[in-house]
Amino acid sequence: MARPIKKGLDYFPVDTDIFENIQVRKLKSRYKSFGFLAYFTLLCDIYKKEGYFLQLSDDYVYDLADRLGDTEEKIQEIIAYCL
């Protein structure tokens, strides 16, 4: 019997110079370390669930805000900034 096809990834590579990336530096400048935490959590969720995309919903934004300990509005603002 074949194994079910796994969705998502168990790990993904991250460049060692991620903190030199101008977009990451701007994100950190605007939202401090919380902005990077939200960004990296989004990356983990993207790669973990489907492997290359994430379906944004009010429930997901609530869940992310709850996990990170901030407001849904702040999370939506960071996501919009990243996009």
Query: What confidence tens digit (pLDDT) does each residue in 21-31 have?
Result: 999 999 999 99
Contact between 47 and 14 under an 8 Å Cβ cutoff? The reply is no
Phi-psi region for residue 56, left (φ > 0), alpha (ψ -120 to 50) or beta?
beta
**Average pLDDT taken over every residue of the chain:** 92
Mean pLDDT of 64-83: 97
Cβ burial of 2 (10 Å; 0-12, 13-18, 19+) is exposed
Query: What confidence tens digit (pLDDT) does each residue in 41-63 have?
Result: 999 999 888 788 899 999 999 99
Neighbour tally for 39: CB within 10 Å: 20
Task: Give the residue among 20, 60, 53 at the shortest CA–CA distance from 38.
Answer: 60
